[in-house]
Chain A
Amino acid sequence: MSYIGAEVIISPLGDTAEENWNALAQNRSGISFVEGAGYAGEGMYLAKMLALNTTRRFENLLVQALTKVSALIDSQIITSTRTIVIISSTKGALDTNIKDQFAGPAAALTQRFKLANQPITVSNACISGVLAINTAGKLVEAGIYEHAIVIGCDVISDFVVNGFQSLFAVSDKPCAPFDNARNGITLGEGCGAVVLSTSKDVFKEAPFQLLAGASANDANHISGPSRTGEGLFRSVNKTLISNKIDTAEIDFICAHGTATIYNDEMESIAFDRLSMSDIPLSSLKGYFGHTLGAAGLIETATSIQMMRNSELVKSLGYSEKGTSKPLNVITVNEKRRLSAVLKTASGFGGGNASLVIRSI
């Protein structure tokens, strides 16, 4: 069994999981209009960490995250030979040095924190975070390591902004996941972290159980979601079956919900096929924007905060049904004990991944 906890969130909404939770409970968004941003300098909505005005932003965020993690666990495990650090990111330090996106920052982390094992970086587009947590959980369960620290991070760069603009995938308003008027993503930046361990005792605050799940490819298109939700359907189905969990046990779905027309439609089809349309669901992109490789970490950490606080927060930006299949999108904050939460992700390259967090 693998325990999960020590969650860290660094975003425009705050530097700790608690600060972020407080903002979410008040339905405050980290998205703002950033003057001058965008290919033509036209200005655009971004979830940007305006105070993080440094060079080497990616590396600095990794260091901040690991520093915060070490305060939430028995800090001796950081340097243990039985610990692996897994970094989840799509573009790493591209804005600092396009030719050294990952190796330099990973080496800096190793040196600064005296890590015994070289970190592994998972770079699988938008499913990176969920895939990295699943990898960590399985490495721990298989006894290959005792502890795993997973840090997801991506920063906003001209490169990524220009790219999504060239695909006409960026919303002209703050993104509105699953809503009828949605018209694209809002890019975000930030960092999230969790710790996986075979031992409950390394966590200062009570951990939860990770039920690591499967990934599945759509085998359909490199940059567009499947029309049938095939990969997401298969991923969730396998995750539930392999962990012997019934859909009735899932209290909440923390969906991917990028707010593009096709992604959100695809998710509605997959959840309909899974007979999970009635389960309360939200996308956190209305709060954090789409943080790419950090999204799986930030959103899993937020799901754990929801479980700790026994509260579902509303899916920000949603007001009217906007998918062909119904979804139970959360429209008001609600106090509720949560025993099991499903987190999903889908992304470019046709990837889909899912995991379940359960109360102990």
Chain B
Amino acid sequence: MARYNTWQADVFRFAVQGRGAQNFLAAAQRQGIRLYHLRCTGAGYSGMASGGDRPRMQALAQTGGWTLETLERHGPGRTLERMLQRPGIPLGLLLFFWLLWWFSGFVWAMDLSALEPDQQLLLESQLAEQQIWVGSRLDQQKLAQAQELLSLQSETFGWLGLNFTGGCLFVESTPLETQSVREEAQNTALYAAAGGQVLSIGVESGFCVVETGQYVSEGQLLANALKLDREGALVGQAATGHITARVERSYTATQPLQQTTLQLTGKSSREETLCLLGQTRLLRQAEPWSHARRSVRWIPLALGRIALPGSLRQVTVWEEEEISRSYTPEEAQEMADRACRLQLMAEFPDANIEAREMIADRQQEAVTVTTRYTFVADIARQGMYTPVEPQKETS
């Protein structure tokens, strides 16, 4: 305690007694000690002085043979002494504020309530890829980097804002709005993707070279970008639009009767990783299956209703095994027919099927199906224009 002069900021009331006590006042005056509220008490004097001058006053009183007594003490010195006697209190305060600052750097909670449930799961996994989860340490640089990456990668959110304050990560977003802008055609022509009878013509620009009811073959020019005017000069305009035709087309697909596929066995295993205060610790390891499906779930840790800066990463692994599946010829035929239909839809998405004729070839190991479809669809496909020779002027 002697190392710290806790009287420095205090003022104290003193009483000086002894023979010729007024000489104490004169001596204090010479030493430059400021005294105030001095009163005569009969046997001596009482007054007030600054706590910082107390050692000099004590030395003066000792030298002059006077008795210096401290009557009252005002100021923070006494509290400071108590604090120094119990250093745990100031240290505890310092530790509290330091921990407050340190803990606020961790993600304690993630507020994704503004998003749809499926979007929450998606964003949670995307944030986890950026090493951001409940319990991870987060700074503004990491946050800005993650926000930039997520905004670039995401096909769900038009704008994504990550706000991190007081240990809580708020996510704000706006849905992605796609505005389809048709690319300006550059001297393109329309060609037939399949042969058939033209039913309707919806050419928006360019110069149509076919008529309704006309039969066209696959690859035939339907509308060109160039045309000669009456004077034989070239006129250019890119061909766009649609030409609907009735088409007959065949598709073939083969379905084996025996096929190896992956099937869930019903067995599951769980991998658990504790992510707490920026540290991760594997609690339980999953079974090392060669074929498995995985689903990840983040469970925030909480003590009652109080969130903790940590989460439990739970990966559920479902075992799959390769099995040889055998189909009956009827099943295989249906599957092959479905594959044919899928081929048609991939080629002509707007196809309206009018008639279907299926020929199945059942062999020992596979069933091959050839389906002939009669359908109505847009057969116009864009391609390079066909050059037209300008007529020479005869005059």
Partners in one complex: no
Chain B residues at the A interface, C-beta cutoff of 8 Å = none
Q: Which residues of A contact B (CB under 8 A)?
A: none
